[in-house]
């Protein structure tokens, strides 16, 4: 039986950071060939500048002194305090040797010790014909008592895919439906008059989005939490690109979207929230948010070519907007959870 040592990655462990990145890169190359390569600078920054709303444990599994399995386990501190969300990657050369099982067992023990009741992890699944199948990871989770709670699909927008003239036409048609609304955009720090509206919409996301049978509760977001997230993004050197559609007469934030461009990453960006207040739906606000925010990303980071997003497979409305502006499906992600 393989002798596996479980440990935690330290911020100053440069050799460990190199091995972590190498392990994740090898795992993704095997399982997720269309996924962006992991960012070593982003890992280093995350280790040095932890978030305030969660505690993240960077768990390693080593064989003969070499890191061959890793997991980023997130313990929520302000809401969903019953939950531990985590990722897990094992180097392809060391699979089927008990590495993943050792990490799963360790995370479960840590969760029990911390009074948590639910574990959650995403496992990839084949969607495209030219993509590898991923049955081994799903079988392992099911063997350890995990059950599927939600199907999501990752889509990638090539920002050059849809001609600008076609996007202009979509945007003009959307604004015809959005009379009485206006556009507000910013980088990193929201205008003071909008921060409460941003907090309200952020807190609605898990309430409004399809969540299947996942054991998750809406987040408790206020203006100070919004500011904390902004300060952390700025201190990390990340670029957070925001677009709001505001109802002019009432001043209400009717819809909001943001995209994160990580420090040290040139071509790829990550879609964050996109949400429209239920009281303001039916005005094509989602289309306006998507197109205008993509353009703002390009204005500040011309080298960004791809934006990645996940949507519940049943979320037909958001998927239709995404595909119209250039998002295309890559792979399915299955959310597994385990009650402990």
Q: How far apart (Å, rounded) are the C-alpha atoms in residues 287 and 291?
A: 6
106 with 160, same domain: the answer is no
171 with 72, same domain: the answer is no
Do the domain assignments include residue 128? Answer: no
Domain range for 65: 5-116
Instruction: State both tokens at 139.
Output: 């079988």
162 with 61, same domain: the answer is no
- Residue corresponding to tokens 């972590």: 20
Do the domain assignments include residue 109? Answer: yes
Q: What is the CATH number of the domain that holds 255?
A: 3.40.630.30
How confident is the model over 88-102, as pLDDT tens digits?
999 999 999 999 999
163 with 256, same domain: the answer is yes
Do the domain assignments include residue 285? Answer: yes
pTM value is 0.94
Nearest to 202 by CA among 230, 177, 234: 230
Q: How far apart (Å, rounded) are the C-alpha atoms in residues 149 and 299?
A: 38
How confident is the model over 19-73, as pLDDT tens digits?
999 999 999 999 988 899 899 999 999 999 999 899 999 999 999 999 999 999 9
Q: Which residues in 215-276 belong to E strands, given as ranges?
A: 239-247, 253-261, 268-276
What are the CA-CA distances from residue 21 to residues 40, 60, 236, 259 (Å)?
6, 11, 18, 24
Q: How far apart (Å, rounded) are the C-alpha atoms in residues 193 and 191?
A: 6
How confident is the model over 280-307, as pLDDT tens digits?
999 999 999 999 999 999 999 999 999 9
- Residue 210: the pLDDT is 85
- Residue 126: the pLDDT is 85
Do the domain assignments include residue 30? Answer: yes
Domain count, the chain: 2
Instruction: State both tokens at 253.
Output: 């934030």
109 with 161, same domain: the answer is no
Q: Which residues of the chain have pLDDT under 70?
A: 1
- Residue corresponding to tokens 């989602």: 286
307 with 162, same domain: the answer is yes
């Amino acid at each position: 039986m393989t002798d596996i040592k479980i440990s935690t990655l330290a911020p100053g462990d440069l050799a460990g950071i190199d091995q972590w990145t190498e392990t994740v890169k090898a795992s993704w190359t095997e399982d997720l060939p269309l996924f962006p390569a992991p960012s070593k600078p982003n890992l280093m920054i995350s280790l040095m500048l932890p978030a305030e709303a969660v505690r993240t444990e960077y768990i390693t599994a080593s064989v003969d002194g070499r890191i061959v399995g890793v997991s980023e386990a997130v313990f929520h501190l302000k809401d969903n305090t019953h939950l531990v969300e985590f990722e897990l990657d094992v180097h392809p050369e060391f699979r089927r040797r008990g590495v993943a099982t050792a990490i799963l067992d360790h995370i479960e023990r840590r969760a029990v010790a911390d009074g948590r009741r639910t574990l959650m992890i995403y496992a990839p699944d084949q969607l495209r014909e030219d993509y590898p199948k991923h049955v081994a990871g799903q079988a392992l989770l099911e063997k350890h008592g995990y059950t599927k709670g939600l199907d999501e699909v990752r889509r990638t927008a090539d920002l050059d895919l849809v001609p600008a003239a076609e996007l202009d036409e979509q945007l003009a048609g959307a604004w015809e439906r959005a009379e009485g609304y206006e556009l507000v955009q910013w980088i990193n720090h929201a205008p003071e008059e909008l921060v409460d509206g941003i907090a309200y919409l952020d807190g609605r996301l898990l309430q409004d989005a399809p969540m299947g049978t996942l054991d998750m509760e809406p987040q408790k977001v206020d203006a100070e939490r919004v500011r904390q997230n902004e300060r952390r993004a700025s201190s990390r050197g990340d670029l957070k690109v925001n677009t709001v559609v505001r109802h002019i007469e009432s001043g209400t934030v009717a819809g909001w979207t943001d995209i994160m461009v990580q420090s040290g990453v040139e071509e790829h960006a990550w879609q964050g929230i996109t949400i429209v207040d239920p009281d303001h739906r039916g005005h094509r606000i989602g289309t306006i948010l998507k197109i205008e925010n993509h353009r703002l990303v390009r204005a500040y980071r011309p080298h960004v070519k791809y934006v990645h997003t996940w949507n519940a497979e049943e979320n037909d409305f958001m998927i239709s907007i995404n595909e119209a502006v250039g998002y295309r499906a890559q792979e399915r992600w299955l959310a597994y959870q385990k009650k402990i």
